[in-house]
Amino acid sequence: MDRFYTCVRLVSRFWLWFFFRDVSVVHAERVPAGGPVLLCINHPNNLIDSLLVGGVLPRKVHYLTTAALFRNRLVARFLTACGAIPVYRKQDDPTQMDKNADAFAACFRALEAGRLVGIYPEGTTHSEIRVQRIKTGASRIALTYQATARGGPLALVPVGLSFDARKSFRSRVRVSFGEPIPVAPYAAVHRDDPLRAVEALTSAIQTGMEAEILHVARPERQDLIRALEQIYRGDLVRELRRSAASAGDRSTRCASRRASRTRSRISRSVTPRAWSGSGPASSAIAASSPPTTCATRRCAPAGSGRAVGPGCAIPGRPRSACRSSPTAVSSTGCPTCCRG
């Protein structure tokens, strides 16, 4: 990645962080860290789409860009420095379509050098919640490159961009990378029937792109989808927060129980056990035990020699009195408290 593109990418990432509330990136690891890659991206939001994909990937992306943007000399220099490849569309100027051979050649050179090329197969930007019927350019590039076999194996990755609100400040966007589409099976068919192979791979790319977004096949239902989303979004958010809170309470209780068990084990490991035996050994151990208090020892009735609960069971005195006014236990132990 050259220095100029790195600077442009940093500025783009800052702008995306400022403009969007949240940019969710899904399965970016599906884009190989090296080698030739062809990204097939839907195009719902003009220049922002290129900024998003270029901002979330650590590799330089060479976009196929409409040649109409290269008419301005300053913009053309900027796009060329960013690695953009001009492509000529029929709706822009039908007389320039023969120049697309140069665009294809530039794509092949970039892929043979192990670079990453981004293409918008729909051919135009739009605001619909779906992937429009894509053109055959992406499949033709992939199959022609695969047939030449002059570079490494091609990774064909579908990409889906989904916007919460396309033109709204502090909205949300999702960038999802699909499973790479294997090109080799279509390349085998391409040798015998190029047209059939191009159509089949184009359909596979269309399906892969649709799988990465919320695809509404019937455009007339887009308003209904948006209305339902507005109605139920609040309920969904509240339900998710309630579920997260419940999960947090359960984890807190589990952590508290674990901490309690840990403290109990530590207490047993450092607290001397009560001795109930008799004889010189017991007397010697009892005699060597330091004085303690009823408030800090687990006491029992006289002669029991074992712990049965907190506090002291001194005859005629309540447990609370023993706790509030501790009485020192002698080295041999008081009549009602555990020794040592």
Sign of CA dihedral 287, 288, 292, 294: negative
Q: Which residue stretches of the chain are H helix? A: 3-19, 47-56, 73-81, 100-112, 137-148, 184-190, 194-210, 222-270, 280-288, 319-324
Residue 231: the pLDDT is: 75
Nearest alpha-carbon partner for 59 in 123, 138, 113: 113
Q: Which two tokens stand for residue 329?
A: 């236990």
Burial of 235 (0-12, 13-18, 19+ CB in 10 A): exposed
Residue 270: the pLDDT is: 42
pLDDT digits (tens, 9 = 90+) for 181-194: 999 999 999 999 99
Residue 277 contacts by C-beta under 8 Å, 6 or more apart in sequence?
none
At 178, the amino acid letter reads G
Tell me the domains of the chain and their CATH numbers.
Answer: 3-216 (3.40.1130.10), 280-329 (no CATH)
Residues of the chain with confidence (pLDDT) below 50? 263, 266-340
Contact assessment for residue 52 and residue 28, using Cβ atoms and an 8 Å cutoff: no
Count of helix runs (H) and strand runs (E) in the chain: 10, 9
Residue 229: the pLDDT is: 66
| CA separation for the pair 259, 270 (Å, rounded) | 17
pLDDT digits (tens, 9 = 90+) for 48-70: 999 999 999 999 999 999 998 99
Phi-psi label, residue 303: left if phi above 0, alpha if psi -120 to 50, beta otherwise: left
Residue 52: the pLDDT is: 94
